[in-house]
Structure 1
Amino acid sequence: MRKYELDVHTHTIASGHAYGTITEMAKAASEKGLKILGITEHTTGIPGTCDEFYFGNMVVVPRNMFGIELMLGAEINILDYKGTLGLDEWYFKHLDIRIAGIHEMCYKSGTIAENTQAIINTIKNPVIDIISHPDDGNCPLDYDEVVQAAKEYHVLLEINNNSLRSSRRKNVFENSVKILELCRQHNIPVLISSDAHYMTDIANFDNVEKVLETVNFPEELVINNSAEKFREFIKRNREREKI
């Protein structure tokens, strides 16, 4: 089994359908040997999630707990083909990590061209670090174009463990294979995530491991292998944002 140092897409009770607190999640991550835990709550549009005001007050939370680095952010909804984001831009300066993704209750799936444009427009937005679970065949994408854009604009594409075990999503394994094959071809890193909604699921990459093995994906292209590489990735994005 591969050794990973970070899991940066997780949720707490603040997202409305998860079941741990920040402290409980951080303690569990420490016990699993992680160096970085990211907690990225859902933004408005997901039933039961926190108000936008929540993201403006995260400065009060310590960024080191139980010997691990805590990075707090948001999983922001992509709302339309223009790549409009479901969080007021004022809040972005308070987020350590910025993930954006399509969720069916916040986005109406269109043609491959329309969906691809939604993702690419989001990737081009300098405030975004990661595209979450771009794997659902119910919202088809042109993965060649998406991967090329991710490389050009320095954004990570995610391989999501929860998506791979979801019965609501379509062709997730096959689409994840396509993403990984293209990322290997273009020599760009990927992020793997548990998308944990409970403490015991942190750093659970069992389903992701199967996809990585299927395509013999290089370990050096999985950014989770190095906390330092991930920190440098985020640092570069913040510098890009200032340009």
Structure 2
Amino acid sequence: MSWERICQNCSFCQAKTGLLRTRSVCVAPDGRRGEVHASDAACPAFRMTPKAGFGLRGRWGEGVSRSREASRADEPAARAATHLSPAGGAAKLGGSSKRGAPMLQLACDVHTHTLYSRHAYSTIEENVRAAAELRLELLGSTDHYSSMLFSEVGSMERAQGYDLRDFQYFMNYGAWPRVWRGVRLLHGCEADVVDLDGHLFGHDVPLTHEINGNPLHRQLTLKERVFQGCDYVIASVHCDEFARGVSLAQTTRMYVRALEDPKVLILGHAGRAGVPFDVGEVLAMAREKGKLVEINEATLASHPSATSTCRRLAERCAEEGVMISTGTDSHISCGIGHFDHVRSMLEEIGFPRKLVATRDAETFLGVLERAVGTSVEV
């Protein structure tokens, strides 16, 4: 099976070619080290290879020839024996990181994108499949809700600048199952902060009709209509032009006001937004409201210049007792649940596990209900 804890499926198992034969060797820093057999039971340092994690390899010589029915029958026992770590594959419950400390478990990915975001490449089903492969407990789908999706057009059909019909994707979330392939599924969006008052995209776009042309019974803004279908919102800055050259007090107020929005649960990738702010004041508001500060995998992986800022933000969260969320910000399914950089940084800091809201589904759902009032029935 692809998820078996055997040397063949471990990243630390390497092939060494000698004069007479090729042998398998364990190179784990705190593992058994030395020569091993591919089918040997793995040592505590086991880290599943990406190929094994995605079901592309099984036991040495067996491939994946066992039937799908037999595989499913074995899954309950496998889950009882192992807990699959999203970043590195399988880690035994109570297992160790490379430094010998308990490995930080991140069982939720709550910042992900689908094709709807236009510069992303996977469907929601592909994302769910990827989450299920890694045995994630919870997946949050948070497509962009911003001017990046559709341009403002002044036609008769778009008299208010933006057409509600372009955003109806967020209004049919009820078609999604709440549990899909064993993964709890949450509906969200990543909304752009658009001004120094902390307003979110669509706050100033009034609506008069539904997508089918029927008049609304009461006046709503585009933001209000979209947020009705969301379990939670990530508030992020993508275009910082409006915040250039302004005071620290103004940018701090912007983030504080964004966190005050009733539907906002997470302050998104603040470490790479390029907008400085008073960290202490913003974290105080997050703690007061029970909101989360995101440590973003894509930022650490693709924006090395922002690493020190993100690290300091995480350290301050630990010092101030502010809970964090972890999101891959994946724009393609193969990135779902892979938290290599986030986990490494949090472990180096010694970040308190109790402050990681995404450590398991129960914790995240509890934070969501307390902070936003969203109670998800499964």
TM-score normalised by the chain length of structure 2: 0.59
Deviation, structure 1 residue 178: 1.9
Deviation, structure 1 residue 48: 5.8
Deviation, structure 1 residue 129: 0.6
Q: State the match for 1:36 in structure 2.
A: 138
- Give the whole-Å Cα distance in 2 for the aligned partners of 1:184 and 1:6: 20
- Give the whole-Å Cα distance in 2 for the aligned partners of 1:147 and 1:3: 24
Q: State the match for 2:269 in structure 1.
A: 133
Which residues in structure 2 correspond to 1:18-29 (within 5 Å)? 18-29=120-131
Q: State the match for 2:48 in structure 1.
A: none
Deviation, structure 1 residue 4: 1.8
CA deviation profile, 1:218-238 (whole Å, cap 9, x unmatched): 122111112101111111123
Q: State the match for 2:188 in structure 1.
A: 73
- Return the letter of the residue paired with 1:207: H
- Give the whole-Å Cα distance in 1 for the aligned partners of 2:224 and 2:242: 19
8 Å Cα contact 1:44/1:51 also seen in 2: no
Question: Which structure is larger by alpha-carbon Rg, 1 or 2?
Answer: 2
8 Å Cα contact 1:143/1:178 also seen in 2: no
Counterpart selection for 2:148 from 46, 49, 66: 46
8 Å Cα contact 2:272/2:306 also seen in 1: yes
CA deviation profile, 1:60-85 (whole Å, cap 9, x unmatched): 22222111111111000000110111
Q: Does 1:5 align with 2:111?
A: no
Q: Kindly indicate which of the two structures has a greater share of residues assigned to helix.
A: 1
Deviation, structure 1 residue 184: 1.3
Q: State the match for 1:226 in structure 2.
A: 360
Counterpart selection for 1:90 from 225, 239, 242: 225
Greater Cα offset, 108-117 or 80-89: 108-117
- Return the letter of the residue paired with 1:52: F
Deviation, structure 1 residue 141: 1.6
Counterpart selection for 1:210 from 341, 344, 352: 344
User: Kindly tell me: are residues 196 and 229 of structure 1, through their superposed partners in 2, closer, same or farther at Cα, counting changes over 3 Å?
Assistant: same
8 Å Cα contact 1:78/1:107 also seen in 2: no
8 Å Cα contact 2:357/2:367 also seen in 1: no
- Return the letter of the residue paired with 2:173: M
Q: Which runs of 5+ in 1 are unaligned?
A: none
Instruction: Report the identity percentage.
Output: 32
Greater Cα offset, 131-140 or 141-150: 131-140
Q: Which of 1 and 2 has higher RCO (CA within 8 Å, sep 6+)?
A: 1
Q: Which runs of 5+ in 2 are unaligned?
A: 1-102, 152-164, 203-222
8 Å Cα contact 1:173/1:211 also seen in 2: no
Aligned Cα root-mean-square deviation (Å): 2.1
SS of alignment partner, residue 33 of structure 1: coil
CA deviation profile, 1:89-137 (whole Å, cap 9, x unmatched): 1221210221111112775444322221111111112221111001126
SS of alignment partner, residue 188 of structure 2: strand
Counterpart selection for 1:103 from 227, 238, 253: 238
User: Kindly tell me: are residues 106 and 51 of structure 1, through their superposed partners in 2, closer, same or farther at Cα, counting changes over 3 Å?
Assistant: farther
- Give the whole-Å Cα distance in 1 for the aligned partners of 2:240 and 2:272: 14
Q: State the match for 1:159 in structure 2.
A: 295
Q: State the match for 1:148 in structure 2.
A: 284
Q: State the match for 2:58 in structure 1.
A: none
- Return the letter of the residue paired with 1:136: R
SS of alignment partner, residue 83 of structure 1: coil
8 Å Cα contact 1:99/1:129 also seen in 2: yes
8 Å Cα contact 2:243/2:251 also seen in 1: no
Deviation, structure 1 residue 182: 1.7
Q: Does 1:182 align with 2:297?
A: no
User: Kindly tell me: are residues 105 and 45 of structure 1, through their superposed partners in 2, closer, same or farther at Cα, counting changes over 3 Å?
Assistant: farther
Which residues in structure 2 correspond to 1:48-67 (within 5 Å)? 51-67=166-182
Deviation, structure 1 residue 54: 1.7
- Give the whole-Å Cα distance in 2 for the aligned partners of 1:106 and 1:227: 37
Greater Cα offset, 204-213 or 194-203: 204-213
8 Å Cα contact 1:147/1:179 also seen in 2: no
Alignment size in residue pairs: 238
